[in-house]
Structure 1
């Protein structure tokens, strides 16, 4: 049996900053991995000054981000689908999202497109964002909502009857990769092994900001050997990732020593499993 994993993300680049090492890890084990990007990132800001000088970043940002996504896909090796919705942008608090954008369309409507993908790909595991979207971007929250509906209804023959043959996903996870326990552990490792490191002060500030965020992970996937490839995929999204991006402030070798994991929370399961896991496919039997 070939195991299959689907990860549902809001924008191109999210798949590289939130799980790319996990996808590379499972691909190396023969798992089929499909990334779904709900929107094209058309309303994102160009955060890299070098890319901003390229006229295409102003003339055709959607086309540029598609090219970046193709490069990231090549680096990691996953399959990829666009769900086809427009980026909602990040409106000021209290302002509405643009009409017709992903967050403007009812989740019940958009979920049919994702259910269609699920029923075609037939994944055993789904990864998406938590109830807050990971952070409160309207597209991330809507991504959670749509993914949750697809989890609940893709196996129901009465739901979206024109979207293909029913398929029930076995397990649903929320990514919890950037978490307080990870930061605290790396901070303590530096105190114990490199007490003169200038990173200690920087990490101390990050620890303070994250001190009220409880660690909710239930699965630690050891993927340290793929951190360099993860970063290569992330840099492929050059419009979103400047050379001095905060994503790269702690060296990969440090992370491999102190926290060589990407973290997930089991949100729902249709199979028996344990409270803490080291494999997202734990409990999924051969032939399932």
Structure 2
């Protein structure tokens, strides 16, 4: 949590992610923006990302299938560096792991051996991660919580589980004394994705490829309720992505990145969301929200 506070009317944001790097890919811009504006921001990560596919040879031996099975510990370092990159001068942001670091393990993809691990996140008793997240909500009292859509963005079982526990934890926290005012899904707008791909810089690394049609997840523009401009903190977002070097490669242009699959993805200067609980406060009828917080959101 950032060290900056602004009394009883401080804005408080919680973002919940499955693995280190998800926070920078999906919400790096809002994390940096709201920290810069003096909000309290908590980044909750549910696993250490032990099953990630490592880019390059330097750290390949740390992977779960590389012999050492030490990747999760190294990714804690990458997450720490990424959050430091997102923090504004005069603030600090440190990792918060659901249930404590190492409580639950990266489940890997459905059907993989990792999914059978007794500590896999998806094998947790259904109420345990829900209550752990509700405990954090009660302790930190965020007015806004950001999680994933029902598909978990791209179908990873841990992402789907994050979607489940966010809704359930918000409900549990409400019965125990704190109501989150607004709950969002972090998503990609179709037009923003198309625009970003149309403008891909020619300096992308050799071996990268453009995505096939519908290969990258996106939502129709009409479904998007909120777009937050993050251009003022764009360089921090890019630096945070680069900090996850075992998982992410940032192009020389600093406007594209790729995961281990080498599929080109644009780095968006606006991040998009769907409000699923709470009241929209658009600037005018028919227009989108441009801020996750509104006058009715900021309270004690």
Q: Please give the TM-score of this superposition, normalised by the length of structure 2.
A: 0.77
Uncovered stretches (5+) of structure 2, i.e. residues with no partner: 1-8, 88-92, 252-256
Which residue of 2 is the match for residue 85 of structure 1? 104
* Correspondence 1:27 to 2:35: yes
Q: CA deviation at 1:39?
A: 0.7
Aligned mate of 1:7, from 10, 15, 24? 15
Measured in 2, the distance between the counterparts of 1:225 and 1:68 equals 23
Which residue of 1 is the match for residue 86 of structure 2? 76
* Structure 2 residue matching 1:19: 3-state secondary structure: helix
Relative distance call for 1:143 and 1:273 in structure 2 (3 A) is same
Q: CA deviation at 1:146?
A: 0.7
Relative distance call for 1:132 and 1:97 in structure 2 (3 A) is farther
RMSD (Å) for aligned C-alpha atoms: 3.2
Q: CA deviation at 1:222?
A: 0.6
Which residue of 1 is the match for residue 154 of structure 2? 135
Aligned mate of 1:262, from 263, 271, 287? 271
Relative distance call for 1:100 and 1:52 in structure 2 (3 A) is closer
* Structure 2 residue matching 1:100: 3-state secondary structure: coil
Relative distance call for 1:10 and 1:285 in structure 2 (3 A) is closer
Q: CA deviation at 1:85?
A: 1.3
Q: Please give the TM-score of this superposition, normalised by the length of structure 1.
A: 0.80
Taking the TM superposition and a 5 Å limit, the aligned residue runs for 1:29-178 are 29-52=37-60, 59=68, 60-77=70-87, 78-83=93-98, 84-92=103-111, 97-157=116-176, 166-176=177-187, 178=188
Measured in 1, the distance between the counterparts of 2:46 and 2:78 equals 16
- 1:253-279 CA distance string (max 9 Å, x none): xx6xxxx3110110111x463472000
State whether residues 33 and 79 of structure 1, in contact with CA within 8 Å, keep that contact through their aligned partners in structure 2. Answer: no
Which residue of 2 is the match for residue 214 of structure 1? 220
Q: CA deviation at 1:114?
A: 0.6
* Structure 2 residue matching 1:74: 3-state secondary structure: helix
State whether residues 72 and 237 of structure 1, in contact with CA within 8 Å, keep that contact through their aligned partners in structure 2. Answer: yes
* Correspondence 1:226 to 2:251: no
Which residue of 2 is the match for residue 161 of structure 1? none
* Correspondence 1:180 to 2:187: no
Q: Which has the higher helix share?
A: 1
Uncovered stretches (5+) of structure 1, i.e. residues with no partner: 158-165
Which residue of 2 is the match for residue 163 of structure 1? none
Q: CA deviation at 1:239?
A: 1.3
Q: CA deviation at 1:283?
A: 4.2
State whether residues 182 and 277 of structure 2, in contact with CA within 8 Å, keep that contact through their aligned partners in structure 1. Answer: yes
State whether residues 20 and 45 of structure 2, in contact with CA within 8 Å, keep that contact through their aligned partners in structure 1. Answer: yes
State whether residues 187 and 203 of structure 1, in contact with CA within 8 Å, keep that contact through their aligned partners in structure 2. Answer: no
What is the aligned length? 264
